[in-house]
Amino acid sequence: MRYMLKQTVLEAARERIAWLFDEFENDIITVSFSGGKDSTVTLALALDEAERRGRLPLPVVFIDQEAEWGATIEYVRAVMYDPRVEPYWLQVPIKLFNSASMSDTWLMCWDEGQKEKWIHPKDPIAITENKYGTDRFKELFSAFSKTTWPDRRVLSLGGVRTEESPNRYAGLTGQATYKWATWGKRDNKNTFAMYPLYDWSYTDIWKFIHERNLPYCKVYDYMYQRGVPVLQMRVSNLHHETAVHNLYYLQEVEKETWNRLVDRLGGVAGVRHIKKKDMFSAGELPFMFDDWRQYRDHLLDKLVTDETAQKAFAKRFADDDKAYAGMLTPEVLWKAQVAAIMTNDYHMTKMDNFRSKPEAREFRKWRAGKGPINPKFAKWIPKEVTT
């Protein structure tokens, strides 16, 4: 349930950031920066508060995934060389899943053996040694904080917003994660991540950027001119399951980045020859299969060649088949699973979004014998339900 307050989202965000600076007055406060519009606003507001309190320069952390837009790196470089910023630009070896290929499954970022093929060069101020005990992107943020400031509490401010994902909405509004605040998470005893813009809309973000005349990543201008839907605008790595659609127009916008990416990573060139509807969704069931489940199992067996990925898909599909057994329309689940395979969604982002659908939540509630059930979202339940 939403509650309308007698303050703007900007006023609320400033209040939250001030509260966090009070709470972590004697601790480390950083900004997790991606080059995107949300982290741009988060950084601007954090810099305002840090300057007011005499806490400049402010530590800013950017994990460079190598396969980035050239315009994103250009913008990040300007931020990292800002005198108000204490830069932590990580260009360290990490392992990223490649959603553009079923055979060339991983990008080993900053692999010294592929130095001549790097998408862009390392920056002179960058941190290049991975001494953090992990080679996975999601784990690197907290590992970096724990290693860099081992005896300090560390608060990371990020630009995550609930509008962008049902999972984010559920995760940032469900329960308190730091004192009374729901809009964050605690990685371990001493590392925290908080998202003071969690209830902003994209219109709030762009209004603030333009009113403050802030610099921002110009990839957004290219996407706007190209007619990319707002919620699909991503400026981070180019082969992630939520950003791979960028490959359909990267060649038109940044030809050199496209050429280097094709040379660096398998499957990228092939995406240009696949229609978007075939890449990102399950259309018509091929005539040789009896149902979508049979088609899913065929794709899992024949298309997913990486053994680790195949096991991960198989386990998740088995779990969801069990959780949604008895659905009135099971094909909606199987089609979602097919789409996950087609986009090589190893991290199960699409399946997590499926679980967050209101219909899925109501079905699980019904299966568990909990109520009341909302009839508006009960269409998957094979019996009449009243509230």
Quick: pLDDT tens for 40-78: 999 999 999 999 999 999 999 999 999 999 999 999 999
Hey, what domains does the chain have and what are their CATH numbers? Answer: 9-207 (3.40.50.620), 218-275 (no CATH), 292-356 (no CATH)
pLDDT attached to residue 273:
47
- Specify the residue for token string 């190893």: 346
Residue 243 scores a pLDDT above 70: no
pLDDT attached to residue 384:
58
Q: Enumerate the β-bridge partners of residue 90.
A: 63, 127
- Specify the residue for token string 């979602």: 336
Query: Is the separation of the CB atoms in 66 and 119 below 8 Å?
Result: yes
Both tokens of 284, joined, read: 């018509």
Q: Which of 162-171, 178-187, 252-261 is least confident?
A: 162-171
Task: Name the residue with higher pLDDT: 247 or 59.
Answer: 59
Residue 185 scores a pLDDT above 70: yes
pLDDT-derived band at 387 (thresholds 50, 70, 90) equals very low
Find the radius of gyration of the CA atoms of the chain: 22
Residue 183 scores a pLDDT above 90: yes
Task: Name the residue with higher pLDDT: 208 or 228.
Answer: 208
**Mean pLDDT over residues 335-343, rounded?**
85
Q: Enumerate the β-bridge partners of residue 185.
A: 193
What DSSP state is assigned to residue 281? S
pLDDT attached to residue 102:
59
Contacts 24+ apart (CB under 8 A), 206-210: 206/37, 208/10, 208/41, 208/44, 209/37, 209/40, 209/41
pLDDT tens string 270-324: 555 455 554 445 568 888 899 999 999 998 888 787 788 889 999 999 999 999 9
Q: What is the percent of the chain with per-residue pLDDT over 90, rounded to a whole number?
A: 56
Residue 194 scores a pLDDT above 70: yes
